Structure 1
Amino acid sequence: MEEVAFEFVEEQNPYVNELAVNKLLIQNQVGVTNVGKEILVLNTIESALDTHKMIEDSDVYITVYGGLKARIKQRTPIARVNAVVPFYIDTMGETMPLSDNYSAHVPMVSNVSEREVKEIFPLLKKMNEDAFLKKHLVSIYRNSGGEYILGLRVYAFDVNFGKIELLDTKIRNFKAFYQKALKDKSLDRYKKVSLQFSNQVVCTLK
């Protein structure tokens, strides 16, 4: 098989490498040796690449010098689920396996199965897109009542987010509480903070 040059776009972490991609093409018997490049169906190579569980999208083309090049966009994990067989949840809300090449620094999710991924994804998406949440939240636990408990990077208190509903209101309330408590230097005094009720933040002291 003629060598394909790979380019990984968006400066992503290396969840998949060139060796794994080449192996995938060989396993799928994607070769170009006996096929004229002018009639090469590049979609065949793209389809093979897109089957890789770490790849979101690929674009294969012929360079001006006549070589083959593949631009590869990897899938991006935004949470890791601690299960019997651990897995990531990506930016599209789909599950993806862990990588042998790189371990993502993302929030850890516990007591969530694959069937609950769709339920938790709106919260994970908010956490990934919001700089404040991304900085402070490191874990999520789903309790037996279907409520989500958030763990903070620095402070020891848990945040009971409640059900996955009224996300913007709850997040806005939490930010307001956090900033006020930070100003008052009282964040170390709390044992639990509840956002279950849309119009208030309920705090439990140690």
Structure 2
Amino acid sequence: MKLKLNYIKLPVLLILVGFLFGFAEKRNNSRKVSEVKVQFVTGENLYVTEEAVNKLLIQNDVAAAGIDKEILDLNRVESLLNNHDMIENAEAYLSLDGKLQTKISQRKPIGRIVGNSSFYLDRNGHVMPLSSYYAARVPLVLGVDSSNVNTAYPLVDYIQKDEFLTRHITGVKRLPGDKFELEMRKLDFKVYFGKAENIALKFNNFKAFYKKALQDEKLETYKKVNLQFGDQVVCTKK
């Protein structure tokens, strides 16, 4: 009888051990990050990729699938991402199913500086390096560098926010005295803007001139359009 009981106890014991082992493993896994998910704001061009973000987190021992949730520092994850040259803002949080979610908004270039060194000017007026993943279609900015890029920012920023100007202006050139000249798409004439002041007034005058000259089929007859006087447009014919 005792022999039979011993035979019965052994399978029960093995089942119990297996159950406890499985329970412990399941509980341990529930304490770990199951996946790292990178989400970019919809519609943005990828100046940095999901693969690059994951690699950054792994290389800095900040986050990876399988890491214990208790040692995961979300503030450090956000700080690391926000210090990336291509990222404007990042948020990190854990979902209920154990996934580390990162929501990333990238920096947005509004102009590309061309000269001894090349870089972008972003929408906040800061220097932004070029991306190896994507080249932005923005106006070229000449005659400035990182030390005086702020002189061109108000003008480039205004152009970027205006659909008509974005469609027609391809270049911004800084001249001596912090004055500017604009390059037009598909048109021969130069637009002399003068200093980056009274910007809205000058561009409103330019739009009125452009509309009238287009109606009169005279756009091709000009070689220079001068906006520096603010309240008027002075044109020079070919």
Normalised-by-shorter TM-score class: over 0.9
Partner SS for 2:207 = helix
Q: CA deviation at 1:144?
A: 2.4
Q: CA deviation at 1:191?
A: 0.3
| Conserved? CA contact 2:109–2:136, under 8 Å | yes
Deviation per residue, 1:64-108 (Å, 9 max, x gap)? 211111011110101000022200011111110000000000000
On the 8 A contact 2:193/2:227 being kept in 1, the answer is yes
* CA shift for structure 1 position 183: 0.8
1:111-163 residue CA offsets vs partner (Å, 9 max, x unmatched): 11112221211111111111110111010111123211101112110100000
Offset of 1:40 from its aligned partner?
Answer: 3.6
For structure 1, which segment, 59-68 or 190-199, has the greater mean C-alpha deviation from structure 2 after superposition?
Answer: 59-68
1:176 maps to a residue whose letter is A
Counterpart in the other structure of 1:122: 154
Aligned to 1:48: 80
The one-letter amino acid of 1:197's match is F
Deviation at 1:34, TM superposition (A): 5.4
* 2:175 is the counterpart of 1:164: no
**Identity over aligned pairs, percent:** 46
Residue 36 (structure 1) aligned with residue 69 (structure 2) = yes
State the distance in 2 between where 1:36 and 1:114 align.
42
Change (3 A) 1:34 1:107: closer
Q: How does 1:48-197 map to 2 (within 5 A)?
A: 48-197=80-229
How far off is 1:30 after superposition? 1.2
Number of the residue aligned with 2:16: none
CA distance in 2, matches of 1:151, 1:5: 43
Q: For structure 2, which runs of at least 5 residues remain unmatched after alignment?
A: 1-31
TM-score normalised by length of structure 1: 0.94
List runs of 5+ in structure 1 lacking aligned partners: none
Considering Cα pairs closer than 8 Å and 6+ residues apart, tell me whether 1 or 2 has the greater RCO. Answer: 1
When structure 1 is superposed on structure 2, of 19-28 and 43-52 the one drifting more is 19-28
Distance in 2 (CA, whole Å) between partners of 1:114 and 1:108 is: 15
- Output the CA distance in 2 between the equivalents of 1:36 and 1:163: 55
Contact 2:63–2:72 under 8 Å retained in 1: no
Question: In terms of Rg, which structure is larger?
Answer: 2
User: Are the equivalent residues in 1 in contact too, given 2:123–2:157 (CA < 8 A)?
Assistant: yes
More helix per residue: 1 or 2? Answer: 2
The answer to whether the aligner puts 1:200 opposite 2:210 as a matched pair is no
CA 1:24 to 1:120, structure 2 compared with 1: closer, same or farther past 3 Å? same
> Residues 190 and 224 of structure 2 are in contact (CA less than 8 Å); yes or no, is this contact kept in structure 1?
yes
Distance 1:34 1:104, change over 3 A: closer
Secondary structure (helix, strand or coil) at the match of 1:29 reads coil
Query: 1: CA distance between counterparts of 2:201 and 2:47?
Result: 35
Q: What is the DSSP-based 3-state SS (H/G/I as helix, E as strand, rest coil) of the residue aligned with 2:76?
A: helix
Relative to structure 1, is the Cα distance of residues 188 and 34 closer, same or farther in structure 2, using a 3 angstrom cutoff? closer
Residue type of the partner of 2:88? Answer: E
